[in-house]
Amino acid sequence: MNDSEGIVYIVEDDAAFRRSVARLIQVSGFAVEAYASAEDFLANAAIRYPGCILLDVRLPDIDGLSLQKSLRENGCYLPIVFMTGHGDIPMSVNAIKNGAINFLPKPFKPDELLSTIHEAFAFNIGDMQKKRETERIRALIGTLTPREEEVFRWVIAGKLNKQIAYELGTSEKTIKVHRSRVMQKTRAASLAELVRLAEKAGISPAE
């Protein structure tokens, strides 16, 4: 997917600066939506992906760091690039720790802004691909029966069939059948691949 197929959201209360940045981004081939406040953005923005948010730290209603937190809590994971004329090192560190892609002090150069936007898009596209892969894996694991899922968790713990049979109070032959079905349903070609699938799906080994 080309970066320019995505959208850049600008949340900035300085009207002249907002228009200037929007024009620069539009000329570069991106779709743009600009908002004067955090409340305006929350009320009217239809979030699309891939994309990123250029967010002023100091806004007239909700400050940028609080908006960042609110978006994360509500499941919006668009990459955020903070913009500020009043930033300091602690604020920058806090923003980055909470997931910001970059922190641009005003005034910044056009090339610097566009480079950061491309970085944000690359991150968002990669993140979307990871999420789709995780959903695919969880869907496969979701086809397992409760007993197969139990066996699955013992298998990724590195247990042998006879050990799993003992833990579950059944025969080794039955465990072999369940194990084979687990491999088929998850489409894993090896134990190592099965372990990787479990890690990506957030499933822990049995203890």
Q: How far apart are CA 104 and CA 82, in angstroms?
A: 6
Q: For the chain, give every domain's residue range.
A: 3-131, 142-201
Helix, strand, coil % in the chain, rounded to nearest 5: 55, 10, 30
The mean pLDDT of the chain is: 90
Superfamily of domain 3-131: Response regulator (3.40.50.2300)
Pairing of strands 7-11, 51-56: parallel
CATH assignment of 142-201, among 3.40.50.11540, 3.40.50.450, 1.10.10.10, 2.60.120.510 = 1.10.10.10
User: Which DSSP state fits 160?
Assistant: -
Q: Quick check: 53 and 21 in contact, CB under 8 A?
A: no
**Centroid of chain to Cα 39:** 23
Phi, psi of 120 (to 5 degrees): -65, -40
pLDDT of residue 88: 64
pLDDT of residue 141: 96
For the entire predicted model, the pTM comes to 0.74
